[in-house]
Amino acid sequence: MRYLEGLNERQKEAVLSTEGPISVLAGAGSGKTRVLTTRIFHLLREGTPPEKILAVTFTNKAAREMRERLALLVGDGPLPLVATFHGLGRELLQSYGRVIGVPRYFSVYDRDDSERAIKDALKEMDIDPKEVPPRQILSRISKAKGEGMTAQSFKEKHGGEGFRSRIASEAWLKYDATLEKEKALDFDDLISKPVHLFEAHPEMRALVQERFSHIHVDEYQDTNELQGRLANMLAHKHRNLFVVGDIDQTIYTWRGATIENLLSFDETYPEAKTIVLEHNYRSTKTIVAASNAIIEKNKNRKEKRAVTDNPDGHPIRLHVSDTAEEEARFIARQARQFMREGMVPEEIAVLYRTNFQSRVLEEAFLAQGIPYRLLGTRFLDRKEVKDVIAWVRLALEPARESDRVRAVQAPPRGIGKVTVAKIAAGKTEGLPAAVRAKVDAFESLVQTLHEESKSAAPSAFVRRVIQLSGLEDALAKGGEDDQERLENAKELATLASRYDHVPGEEGIAAFLADTALAGDQDELDRPQTNEKNKKGVTLMTVHAAKGLEFDAVFVTGLEEGLFPHEGMNQEEERDEEEERRLFYVAMTRAKHHLVLTMARVRRIYGTDYLSEPSTFLHDIDPGLMQVNYGEEEHEDIIHI
Active site residues: 32-33, 218-219, 249, 589
DSSP 3-state assignment of 456?
coil
Q: How does strand 590-604 pair with strand 607-610?
A: antiparallel
Q: Give the Cα separation of 121 and 124 in Å (integer).
A: 5
Neighbours of 352 (CB within 10 A): 24
Strand, helix or coil at 345?
A: helix
Residues 6+ apart with CB under 8 A from 76: none
Assign 3-class secondary structure to 352-384.
ECCHHHHHHHHHHHHHCCCCEEECCCCHHHCHH
CA atoms within 13 A on the CB side of 414: 18
CA distances in angstroms from 406 to 110, 424, 449, listed in the order given: 23, 13, 16
Containing 506, the helix (H) or strand (E) segment is helix 505-520
Q: Give 238: exposed, middle or buried? Use CB within 10 Å, 0-12, 13-18, 19+.
A: middle
Residue 366's closest CA among 132, 529, 249? 529
Please give the Cα distance from 289 to 413 (Å, whole number).
55
261-274 in b/e form (b: 16+ CB < 10 A) is: bbbebeeebeebbe
For 610, residues 6+ apart whose C-beta sits below 8 A from its C-beta are 600, 601
* Distance (Å, whole) CA 302 – CA 296: 10
Q: Residue 535 in contact with residue 345, Cβ under 8 Å?
A: yes
Listed as own residue / partner, the contacts of 505-511 with beta carbons closer than 8 Å and 24 or more positions apart are 505/396, 505/453, 505/454, 507/457, 507/458, 508/392, 508/396, 508/453, 508/456, 508/458, 508/461, 509/396, 510/458, 511/392, 511/458
| Bridge partners for 629 per DSSP | 320, 632
User: Do residues 609 and 497 make contact, with C-beta atoms less than 8 angstroms apart?
Assistant: no
What's the DSSP call for residue 499? G
- 306, 291 contact by CB (below 8 A): yes
Q: Give the relative orientation of helices 324-340 and 358-367 as an angle to the nearest 10 degrees.
A: 50
At residue 538, the 3 state secondary structure works out as: strand
Element (H, E) at 62: helix 60-74
* Radius of gyration of the chain from its Cα atoms, rounded to whole angstroms: 27
Residues 625, 585: Cα–Cα separation, whole Å: 18
Cβ count within 10 A of residue 520? 9
